[in-house]
Structure 1
Amino acid sequence: MNLLKDAWIPVQQAGLMEKITLQQLLCNEKQGELCLPRDDMEFACLQLLVAITQVLFPPADKAQLVQRLKQPLTRSEYDDGCEGKLDWFDLDHPETPFMQFRGVNAKELTPMDKLMAGVADGTNKTFVNPQGLIEGLCAGCVSIVLYNTAYNCPSMGGGFKSGMRGSTPITVLIRGDNLSQTVWHNVLTAASLKREMPCYEPSDITLPNYIEGLRKDSKLSASTIGLAKGLFWQPARFELAPIEGEGVCSCCGQNLPLYTGFKKEKFSYTIEGVWPHPLSARTFTIKAGQKEEKFPSFTTSQPSWVHLAKLVVDKDNGKEGYHPAPVITQLKSFGAKRLNLMVGGYRNNQATVLERRHEMYSLASDWQENTSLVDELITLAQEYKKALRKALYLFGEGVKDSFAGAGVNLTDQYEAVFYQSTEQLIQDTLAEISYTQPSSALDSLSSSLKARVTQLFDQAIFPYRQEPKMLKALASSRRLLNKYLKDLEPHGGNHE
């Protein structure tokens, strides 16, 4: 199966699911919405489509990118982009199979479920995966899984390397009006590549490492890793076992030849520095005059909007800050009015996936000139959450030699409730706020958050209101809450 020639992209249109080719998608011969049983698989499929399009059909400038958003590729343009690269995307190539290495040394085959995040090891797998999800995979689905494992998942444990962006990075993608537009919205022009990757040259002919090979224990500088190598970096030595027969793919549900196992082998190397992936923001700190960068990830159960400022805001206070993903920077430079953003990733504990995220956000017109407002809005919401936590902490712990607390920890429980109950409020504010005249929207948000925090505090302390020994704790914690809420009240007209 070859990703440039064969039908492997699972789409649904008018309620019917089919697989289409990359040529049909980019030449606008067929369209549809991605259709797979898991949102992270759809997200990975979209990332793979973007990576292939970026490497094969990079637009020279904004004018050419806008043209490709409006007009599909011709068949001759498609063939020209694929020339010389068909072997890169052949899943069963005898020497350089897609995202694999030949000659992997393994005594036994590993079941396919080890390739899909959270199926074999996830603590919540019972609730999110249909039974028998990954007993056997067709060529199209296993290509998506290989790419997802290489770029989005934690490593398989000791001796296995994480992907180019480290373990479980957050990925951002810009959503278009249809699938092909979404792909093109996330492709960088040559000018954007040169700005984000100073070592990039339009004549870049670096090869993916599964094509070029990689010596064990080798050391590479991120600055020497070209576009194709960076977008198709395989961090682990995997090799699919030969197909043994046909059956129903446990992912897409079609009756096709299936892969049921693979070989894996530990392999060490070192990459020095950070490669600026087009779909990832980067946070940084400056220590002893040196800039240390990393990719943000979901490390707690906090919702995705908590991280949103890191994903779209360019901030540098001299000690730390963050840079948005290059695709976001490009869209800002184009003066796009509205941003429809997809955010995805996993939360993990070492090799175990604890949770998966796939959410959508919309930023209203003029966001690109006022991204600092996103930071301000999120900080405001977080301050209200802190007010609730501090008041409940005082209620639970009390003050030594003054009054006893309730002896219960309510802070974590009600922080989770706060996030759940304010998610839609935050999303609506981001989508509807006037980024040039935000005062009234921020005042309204502040009022809504104050009401919600007061309600949650009352809900938390309600069972203790009739206990005389709790009166001091109740009064003191409420007084503290009111003080924090008073301090957070808008002071008028400072946002214009």
Structure 2
Amino acid sequence: MINLLIDQWIPVQRKDGARDVISPLDLLSDSPENPVKSIATIRPDFDGAVLQFLIGLYQVLLSPEDTDEWKELLDSPPTVDSLQKRIDQIKPAFIPDGPDHRFMQDSSVRDTDVWEIQNLLIEINNTHFLKKGTIQHLCPKCAVLALLTLELNSPSGGRGHMTSLRGGGPLTTLVCVPDEQTTLWHTVLLNLISTDMFPSKGDLTVNQSVIKIIFPWLGILPNSEGGDVIVPKDMHPYHVYRNVPRRIFLNFEDTTSGNCDLCGEKSEVLLSKYWSRPNGIKYDSWTHPLTPYYIKTDKAGDLHLPVRGKEGGVTYANWIGIVMGSTEAGRIPASVVKTLPDRLYKDPEYPELKVNVFGYVTDNAKARAWQEGILPTIIVPNEFRAAFLNEVSRLVSTASDILFILISKIKDGYSRDARNMKGDFSEVRVSFWHQTESVFYEALEKLTASIPADSSRSDELHPMTDEVKKSWLFEMRNVTLSLFKERVTFPIYGEADPGLSAHAELALRGYLSNNNAKVCKSLGLPAPEKVSKQKVKK
């Protein structure tokens, strides 16, 4: 038997680039000269799942009471000996191949419906990570990685196959520092939340009496065959890190030996089957500390729904909702991001915090894409937060309007009947957001600099913000016109009409002008002066 708490099974990369395999507890005695920098499995979705596994594990092991205790952990990691009592309490929950109670598995489905092992893998159009039919055997490590990833992210899988606690395809957001500074230990610690800031209002005490409601597979796992729903009061708040919506039991009885079809390593034990039944745990009303939410209002009131990945990747269009949040727009950052100002405001040791965003893009029961990206954080004093968010919202909203006009004018350059023109313009959207990213962040930096040092007199930003927005519009004009020309010069959507494209470009230039009243209003700039006909005649 292996134990995922004390045995070495996690592939990692160290500071010098060397690969290694560690146990979760090895992080407590990591080498300061050559520390572990990152998870290094063979798939990015596995990397993300292991990171969440480690964060959830250390949230239970350490459970800091307040910010001061949390900061002490950043400066001075505990020892294994100091945590031994807690380790012994939870160790039985981390055995994936035991006789009965197994890590994230439901023993009640043993000897029921048989599934091929490749179905544990969340695949994207069957070709993104691997080709269909190429996975027939998995080593125990890869099988556990696949199981963990599926349970944490499970998309809709048909009738009775439940989605994860955060729904299908949730975005995960983790606080991180720049690559040159980061270690895996710091990444884990930065994403722990002290009990006084934890989003759940339940009792966060961890002792022997609550182990089975943190790790419910140590007992009889609930299911939804009778329509039961599991809400936060039914489990310990820390169960949020290890939800088990799928009823799965790995078949360690009928195995073979050879090379794993996923990692390629030789193993004396290769799994080819698992058992599974529908109607696993159906979760409702949970708030995950690592996921941003948005508010949807209906007849029942306000619903807090997890933000899911969207086509086009992680861009600055997501920045406000993921990093800052907005009451007006109903956007709530993940608790681990939202609490940053209270935890690390103006901390000289962490001047450049970022948010690592990753997750699947799903559509019904299918994963369409895997996306990940890094967004910078800016901690704004509360008295200037509303004014700052207002200006940033203007930039993002105006950028969305410019993108709409860009696509419209590209169509006009090809056809007199642009409304009915067919074509996939998703690559224009992706290119636009990525090519204007540096323009946005440059403006963001300047807006941050416009926050007055003295907040006693006013809650308004410095008047220089108008110049920042004008400069932003100038740079946006250059990028947008370049994107337009590329797509009408080369026959991407057919043969462009020179006359139509020239007229469309002129209209686009007019829209992007400082004299466009609509753009000025959108940016909150003074209305342009109207030129009288008399002046024009002169």
Distance in 1 between the 2:91 and 2:206 partners? Answer: 18
Q: Which of these residues, 396, 400, 403, is aligned with residue 382 of structure 1?
A: 400
Q: CA deviation at 1:285?
A: 2.2
Partner of 1:277: 288
Distance 1:445 1:180, change over 3 A: same
In the TM superposition, what is the alpha-carbon distance from 1:80 to its structure 2 partner? Answer: 2.5
Change in 2 beyond 3 A, CA 1:134/1:327: farther
Shift of residue 187 of structure 1?
Answer: 0.7
Q: Within the alignment, does 1:209 sit opposite 2:216 as a pair? A: yes
1-structure distance, mates of 2:276, 2:373? 32
For residue 138 of structure 1, report the CA deviation from its aligned partner: 3.3
Alignment of 1:262-341 (within 5 A): 262-267=274-279, 270-272=282-284, 274-288=285-299, 290-301=301-312, 303-317=314-328, 321-334=330-343, 335=345, 337-341=351-355
1:437 paired with 2:444, answer no
Quickly say closer, same or farther: Cα 1:453–1:96, change in 2 above 3 A: same
Task: Tell me whether 1:488 sits opposite 2:519 in the alignment.
Answer: yes
Deviations 1:351-378 (A, max 9, x none): 2211101222223565987472654443
Q: Cα deviation per residue 1:429-459 (whole Å; 9 max; x = unaligned)?
A: 65x5552428355444322221111222233
Cα distance in 2, alignment partners of residues 281 and 202 from structure 1 = 25
Pairing 1:82-161 to 2, within 5 Å after superposition = 82-104=87-109, 109-118=114-123, 122-123=124-125, 125-126=126-127, 128-129=129-130, 134-161=135-162
The aligned counterpart of 1:258 is 270
Give the direction of change, closer, same or farther, for the CA distance of 1:398–1:67 in structure 2 (3 Å limit): same
Shift in alpha-carbon separation, 1:324–1:54, aligned structure 2, 3 A: same
Q: Report the equivalent of 2:245.
A: 235
5 Å-filtered alignment, 1:338-353, equals 338-353=352-367
Q: Could you tell me how far 1:131 is from its partner in structure 2?
A: 9.2
CA distance in 1, matches of 2:265, 2:56: 25
> Is contact 1:338–1:365 with CA below 8 Å preserved after alignment?
no
Mapped contact 2:247–2:278 kept (Cα < 8 A): yes
Query: Which amino acid letter does the alignment assign opposite residue 97 of structure 2?
Result: D
TM-score (norm 1): 0.85
Partner of 1:2, secondary structure, is coil
One-letter amino acid matched to 2:118: D
For the residues of structure 2 that align with 1:135 and 1:179, how far apart are their CA atoms? 32
Once residues 171 and 375 of structure 1 are traced to their aligned partners in structure 2, the CA distance between those partners, rounded to angstroms, is: 23
Q: Which has the larger radius of gyration?
A: 2
Structure 2, gaps ≥5 residues long: 452-464, 528-538
Which residue does the alignment assign to 1:39?
A: 44
d(CA) in 1 for partners of 2:470, 2:298:
38
Q: Distance in 2 between matches of 1:463 and 1:10?
A: 46
CA contact (8 A) 1:173 1:279 kept: yes
Q: Paired residue for 2:478, among 451, 474, 481?
A: 451
Map Cα deviations across residues 266-315 of structure 1 (whole Å, 9 max, x no partner).
Answer: 1255444x211010011002334711111011233354433232212232
Deviations 1:116-167 (A, max 9, x none): 221xxx22x4454489874433333332322211112313322200010000
Letter in 1 for 2:472: L
AA aligned opposite 1:290: G
Deviates more, 1:485-494 or 1:145-154: 485-494
Cα distance in 1 between the residues matched to 2:11 and 2:526: 51
| Aligned 8 A contact 1:10 1:252 in 2 | no
Distance in 2 separating the partners of 1:71 and 1:420: 39
Cα separation, 1, equivalents of 2:395 and 2:369: 26
Instruction: Select the residue among 63, 66, 69 that pairs with 1:64.
Output: 69
Cα 1:342–1:15, aligned 2, differ >3 Å: closer, same or farther? same
Give the match's secondary structure for 2:63: coil
Q: Distance in 2 between matches of 1:405 and 1:422?
A: 26
Q: Which deviates the most, 284-293 or 53-62?
A: 284-293
CA contact (8 A) 2:74 2:189 kept: yes
Identity %: 20
Contact 1:237/1:264 (8 A) holds in 2: yes
Distance 1:315 1:491, change over 3 A: closer
Question: Does 2:487 match 1:478?
Answer: no
Q: Is the 8 A contact 1:159 1:268 kept in 2?
A: yes
Q: Return the TM-score normalized by structure 2.
A: 0.79
Is the Cα contact below 8 Å between 1:100 and 1:238 reproduced in 2? yes
Which residue of 163, 181, 190 corresponds with 2:186?
181
> 1:115: Cα distance to partner?
1.3
Q: Match for 2:330: what amino acid?
A: G
Instruction: Decide whether aligned partners of structure 1 residues 254 and 66 sit closer, same or farther in structure 2, where only a CA change above 3 A counts.
Output: farther
Shift in CA distance, 297/381, structure 1 to aligned 2, threshold 3 Å: same
| RMSD of aligned Cα (Å) | 3.3
User: 3-state DSSP class of the match of 1:85?
Assistant: helix
Pick aligned residue for 1:414 from 428, 431, 442: 428
Q: Find the aligned partners of 1:116 and 1:424 in 2 and give their Cα distance.
A: 36
Say if 1:251 and 1:45 are closer, same or farther in 2 by CA, change over 3 A: farther
CA distance in 2, matches of 1:410, 1:250: 36
Q: Which residue type is aligned with residue 108 of structure 2?
A: G
Distance in 2, matches of 1:429 and 1:144, equals 41
2-side partners of 1:153 and 1:450: how far apart?
42
C-alpha contact (below 8 Å) 2:323/2:355 kept by paired residues:
no
Q: Identify if the C-alpha distance between structure 1 residues 476 and 32 changes in structure 2 by more than 3 Å, giving closer, same or farther.
A: closer
Separation in 1, partners of 2:425, 2:240? 43
Give structure 1 stretches of 5+ with no counterpart: none
For 1:133 and 1:338, the matched residues in 2 are separated by 43
Tell me: CA distance 1:90–1:107, structure 2 relative to 1, closer, same or farther (3 Å). Answer: closer
- Give 1:488's aligned amino acid: V
- Distance change >3 Å, CA 421–CA 395, structure 1 → 2: same
Deviates more, 1:183-192 or 1:287-296: 287-296
Q: Is the 8 A contact 2:121 2:146 kept in 1?
A: yes
* Alpha-carbon distance in 2 for matches of 1:188, 1:2: 26
Secondary structure class of the residue paired with 2:356:
strand
Map of 2:455 onto structure 1? none
